[in-house]
């Protein structure tokens, strides 16, 4: 992959850059995103190094990005206005926001740029061709994007696992390069998959085991230890014959989980499961919490976090590793009563004498919510889905396409 520096003199050149501005917003969806505030600006901050590099080089910067999942049509709930506003604050310079993606406003906004200035076009997912399954539709939209630039820079790691017009087809239409964010993400993932320092520990959490089956299948071959928490753990407990009460359970995945437990045992790998669970009668922040044994969850209770003894064990396993990858909180980390397991794992990651990687998504949001600074960890990924697919052994189209 070329870097931005490999593109040569960018003074006065138009550079179209795909960034990841898909940030969480406060409150419930209203008629417009403009009245809501960003609750975690980590992805916007991660885009700053490449954007400042382009500005310093005198380029005219045109940002393509998305927010949420609009259904191929303009929707004020998913406007990029909050992202443009926050990015302008962080850059200390105006970010001109077009009111459309490839229409008259976008054309006028790009044409008005002076050297070193930044424009953001409206949500690319307002265009049906962006995520179309028809390559011809994506290609036609990419042609319109390409008309805005002389070069293309890919710096939205959170979308490189998708064949989308602003990620895949556009890279084929302009001289391209990877931004520093994408290059750094790929370099870190290579360290996790190509001869990682050992012990190599992978911590997996989050709601559904079905979301992680492929990555478990691949990592059970390369990691030394898998540590399992979050909602997905109850399928593991059920696979061992334990009652899980009202806890989240994917009964159709029990057989697959039993297979992984057997595979780990026969292959000399360790799967660490919690010995105690914090349960409550209802899924609510103020529901009364109690600690029970992981093999005896009451019928009328549901698990919402790993227990205090499990938190100590998980933290010890993590802190003793030389390489750690973590994806998924250990419980409902946004609620204080059920955040202890996630906080213990996060703290242990800060103490790792080696490479510690927080695998994006809910994990990244959780550590910031719990008060941890980004630089306390070796690396915080901006793309949970992209990271997991790489660790599954899949090719990331948005990376492979970069010449």
Q: Which residues are annotated as a binding site for substrate?
A: 20-22, 43, 66-69, 125, 162
Residues annotated within the binding site for ATP are: 212, 303, 334, 360-363
Residue tagged active-site, from 36, 43, 86, 183: 43
Residue tagged active-site, from 156, 230, 331, 385: 385
Residues annotated within the binding site are: 20-22, 43, 66-69, 125, 162, 212, 303, 334, 360-363
Q: How far, in Å, CA of 148 to CA of 319, rounded?
A: 48
For the question of residue 86 being annotated catalytic, the response is: no
For the question of residue 385 being annotated catalytic, the response is: yes
Of 10, 384, 48, 19, residue with least CA distance to 178: 19
Q: How far, in Å, CA of 98 to CA of 387, rounded?
A: 31
Phi-psi region of 389 (alpha: psi -120 to 50; beta: other; left: phi over 0): alpha
For the question of residue 241 being annotated catalytic, the response is: no
User: How many helices (H) and strands (E) in the chain?
Assistant: 13, 15
99 alpha carbon, distance to own chain's centre: 27
Residue tagged active-site, from 208, 269, 322, 394: 208
Q: Where are the beta strands (DSSP E) in 264-318?
A: 270-272, 276-280, 290-293, 302-306
Of 222, 174, 224, 204, residue with least CA distance to 18: 174
Residue tagged active-site, from 205, 206, 328, 361: 361
Helical packing angle, 81-91 and 42-56, nearest 10° = 60
Helical packing angle, 340-350 and 308-319, nearest 10° = 20
Q: How far, in Å, CA of 376 to CA of 380, rounded?
A: 10
For the question of residue 198 being annotated catalytic, the response is: no
Within 10 angstroms of residue 103's Cβ, the number of other Cβ atoms is 16
Buried b (16+ CB within 10 A) or exposed e, 290-324: eebebeebeeebbbbbbbeebbebbbebbbebbbb
SS3 (DSSP) at 367: helix
The tokens for 291 are 């600690």
Q: How far, in Å, CA of 217 to CA of 286, rounded?
A: 37
Residues annotated within the binding site for (2R)-3-phosphoglycerate are: 43, 125, 162
Q: How far, in Å, CA of 255 to CA of 248, rounded?
A: 16
Query: With helix as H, strand as E and coil as C, how does 138-154 read?
Result: HHHHHHHHHCCCCEEEE
| Residues marked as catalytic | 43, 208, 361, 385
């Amino acid at each position: 992959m070329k870097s931005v520096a490999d593109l040569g003199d960018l003074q006065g050149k138009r550079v179209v850059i795909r960034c990841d501005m898909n940030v969480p917003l406060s409150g419930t969806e209203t008629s417009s995103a403009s009245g809501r505030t960003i609750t975690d600006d980590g992805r916007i901050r991660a885009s700053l190094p490449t954007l400042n590099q382009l500005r310093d080089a005198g380029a005219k910067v045109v940002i393509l990005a998305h927010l949420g999942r609009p259904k191929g049509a303009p929707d004020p709930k998913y406007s990029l206005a909050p992202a443009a506003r926050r990015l302008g604050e962080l850059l200390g310079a105006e970010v001109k926001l077009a009111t459309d993606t490839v229409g008259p406003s976008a054309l006028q906004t790009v044409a008005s740029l002076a050297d070193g200035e930044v424009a953001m076009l409206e949500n690319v997912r307002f265009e049906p061709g962006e995520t179309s399954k028809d390559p011809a539709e994506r290609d036609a939209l990419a042609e319109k994007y390409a008309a805005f630039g002389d070069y293309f820079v890919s710096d939205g790691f959170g979308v490189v696992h998708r064949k989308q017009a602003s990620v895949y087809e556009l890279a084929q239409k302009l001289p391209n390069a990877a931004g520093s964010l994408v290059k750094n993400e790929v370099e870190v993932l290579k360290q996790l998959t190509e001869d990682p320092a050992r012990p190599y520990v992978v911590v997996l959490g989050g709601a559904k085991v079905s979301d992680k089956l492929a990555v478990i299948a691949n990592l059970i071959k390369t990691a030394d230890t898998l540590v399992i928490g979050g909602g997905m753990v109850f399928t593991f407990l059920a696979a061992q014959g334990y009652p899980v009460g009202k806890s989240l359970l994917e009964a159709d995945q029990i057989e697959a989980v039993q297979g992984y437990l057997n595979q780990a045992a026969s292959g000399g790998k360790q799967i660490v499961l919690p010995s105690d669970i914090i349960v409550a009668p209802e899924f609510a922040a103020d529901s009364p919490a109690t600690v029970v044994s992981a093999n005896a969850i009451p019928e009328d209770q549901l698990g919402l976090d790993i227990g205090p003894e499990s938190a100590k064990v998980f933290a010890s396993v993590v802190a003793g590793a030389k390489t750690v990858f973590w994806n998924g909180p250990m419980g409902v980390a946004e609620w204080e009563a059920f955040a202890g397991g996630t906080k213990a794992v996060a703290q242990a990651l800060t103490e790792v004498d080696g490479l510690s990687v927080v695998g994006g998504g809910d994990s990244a949001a959780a550590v910031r919510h719990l008060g941890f600074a980004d630089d306390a960890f070796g690396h915080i990924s901006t793309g949970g889905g992209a990271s997991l697919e790489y660790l599954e052994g899949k090719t990331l189209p948005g990376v492979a396409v970069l010449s």
